[in-house]
Amino acid sequence: MHPLLHRMVERLPEMLAGIGTLVRCESPSADHDAVARSADVVTALGTPLLGGEPERIVLDGVTHLRWRKGTGDGVLLLGHHDTVWPVGSLESRPFHVENGILRGPGCFDMKAGLVMAMYAATELDDVTLLVTGDEELGSPSSRELVEEEAKRCVAALVLEASADGGALKTERKGIARFEVHAHGRAAHAGLEPEKGVNATVELAHQILAVSGLADPAAGTTVTPTLLTSGTSTNTVPAHGDFAIDVRARTVAEQNRIDAALHALRPALDGATLTVVAGPSRPPLESAASQALYARAVALAAELGLPPLTRAAVGGGSDGNLTAGVGVPTLDGLGAVGGGAHADHEHVLVAELPGRAALVTALALDLTESRR
């Protein structure tokens, strides 16, 4: 067995205990107090492993943590400690390990990955470990922090959970959210509907137009989602709006959709439209991961691990942000398992040492190659 892999195998019991500690501290993204408590637990776990306490960074009430070893401009290990699970989820989904499978809310996405990052960092002299607290919300407070840390480093290794079968994530679609607001004119729906301008009807026209912007061949989805309109059942609606979820593989496609949405025009006389752009993440294009994936494949073979696979996925992560500022990025290096955000969320225990060893070997290789 490769010495590095052997060390990680020996430390597996410690890793499992650490994962249990983090999972048992619930940390839903929108609950800032819970995220702050989780940051305390992450700090207590990581401080003895990394040789010191992290810098605690609170932005818009959200607690993020940053450890730096060495110059801080080597490799960025990136993860988050917030989850989608509300406080109380542990009551019906307690942390436990049985038959080689670890379960508990947030274990796969991505508290197991955080522990792996810590143990990888113990082997490294020049590394930054950044742990954010609002990734599941789209990183509204931490986006600039992630981007600036990435710019300092030679590469970003993202400890998000793997794709199916342990595949690394070498491509992620960019995500953009929009709202379309239709403004009409109210009137009595029974007495004189002709005097109104129906915002609901205007929205119907716009929803069909927006849906037509999708390009399945290019992998671009444009999905109208949440819809609201009107104030009562007997009034012509004067206002309504709907939300749009956009996923695209390339910046060019993101720009095309953005321009098309802002070019929407009313279909009804007397109606007006307002298009509001919401949070967005750029795509993680395959070019940002290609060289790192090739290195990872070679290192996995040296470590005696099974051959790696890769996948393109629709969900976003902070890896989108690091790739968006031009930093080589490899994602999905975290736990192998499944069920992110679902009741069957789980981690395969036997895969933990190998993945931690792979992250460590890749970070060491990147650090050595720049000397």
Map 101-130 to HEC letters: EEECCCHHHHHHHHHHHHHHHCCCCCEEEE
Tokens read off for 263: 């070019």
- Tokens 């290789």 belong to 365
Determine contact, residues 20/95, Cβ cutoff 8 Å: yes
- Tally the residues of the chain: 371
Determine contact, residues 323/284, Cβ cutoff 8 Å: yes
Q: Of 82, 126, 241, 331, which is the active-site residue?
A: 82
- 121 with 230, same domain: the answer is no
Q: Which residues pair with 281 in a beta bridge?
A: 175
Residue 138 to residues 134, 164, 321, 338, 369, Cα–Cα distance (Å): 7, 22, 10, 21, 33
Q: HSE, CB side, 13 Å, CA atoms: give it for residue 316.
A: 27
For residue 110, is the peptide bond before it cis, meaning its omega torsion is within 30 degrees of 0? yes
Determine contact, residues 132/29, Cβ cutoff 8 Å: no
% the chain with pLDDT above 90: 96
Active site residue 135: yes
* pLDDT for the residue 279: 84
- 193 with 160, same domain: the answer is no
Residue 219: which domain range? 174-281
Q: Which residues pair with 311 in a beta bridge?
A: 169
- Three-state DSSP at 310 gives strand
- 195 with 166, same domain: the answer is no
Measured distance CA(96)–CA(150) in Å, rounded: 35
pLDDT bin (cut points 50, 70, 90) of residue 219 is very high
Determine contact, residues 202/308, Cβ cutoff 8 Å: no
In the predicted model, is pLDDT for residue 99 greater than 90? yes
- 28 with 166, same domain: the answer is yes
pLDDT bin (cut points 50, 70, 90) of residue 18 is very high
Residues 6+ apart with CB under 8 A from 175: 138, 245, 246, 247, 279, 280, 281, 316, 320
Read off the CATH number of the domain in which 45 is found: 3.40.630.10
* pLDDT for the residue 73: 84
* pLDDT for the residue 72: 76
pLDDT bin (cut points 50, 70, 90) of residue 370 is low
Active site residue 82: yes
- 43 with 190, same domain: the answer is no
Which of 232, 261, 281 lies at the terminal end of a domain, its last residue?
281
272-321: per-residue pLDDT in tens? 999 999 889 999 999 999 999 999 999 999 999 999 999 999 889 999 99
Residue 72 CB coordination number (10 Å)? 15
- 106 with 65, same domain: the answer is yes
Neighbour-count burial of 304, counting CB atoms closer than 10 A to its CB (0-12 exposed, 13-18 middle, 19+ buried): exposed
Alpha helices by DSSP H, listed for the chain, are 3-10, 12-23, 32-50, 112-121, 143-152, 199-211, 251-262, 290-303, 318-324, 352-369
315-357: per-residue pLDDT in tens? 899 999 999 999 999 999 999 999 999 999 999 999 999 999 9
130-168: per-residue pLDDT in tens? 999 999 999 999 999 999 999 999 999 999 999 999 999
Closest CA relative to residue 15, chosen from 370, 365, 351: 351
Q: What is the mean pLDDT of residues 173-186?
A: 97
Residue 11 CB coordination number (10 Å)? 17
In the predicted model, is pLDDT for residue 108 greater than 90? yes
Read off the CATH number of the domain in which 237 is found: 3.30.70.360
Which of 242, 265, 281 lies at the terminal end of a domain, its last residue?
281
In the predicted model, is pLDDT for residue 369 greater than 80? no
- 229 with 159, same domain: the answer is no
Measured distance CA(225)–CA(238) in Å, rounded: 20
pLDDT bin (cut points 50, 70, 90) of residue 56 is very high
Determine contact, residues 238/185, Cβ cutoff 8 Å: yes
Tokens read off for 124: 């490294």
- 156 with 178, same domain: the answer is no
In the predicted model, is pLDDT for residue 371 greater than 80? no
Q: What is the mean pLDDT of residues 196-219?
A: 98
Tell me what the pLDDT averaged over the chain comes to: 97
Q: Of 26, 134, 135, 171, which is the active-site residue?
A: 135
- 20 with 102, same domain: the answer is yes
Q: What is the mean pLDDT of residues 244-257?
A: 96
pLDDT bin (cut points 50, 70, 90) of residue 128 is very high
pLDDT bin (cut points 50, 70, 90) of residue 35 is very high
Which of 234, 263, 281 lies at the terminal end of a domain, its last residue?
281
Encoded amino acid at 243, one letter: A
pTM, two decimal places: 0.91
- 80 with 117, same domain: the answer is yes
Determine contact, residues 198/270, Cβ cutoff 8 Å: no
* pLDDT for the residue 71: 86
Closest CA relative to residue 187, chosen from 270, 272, 275, 274: 270
In the predicted model, is pLDDT for residue 58 greater than 70? yes
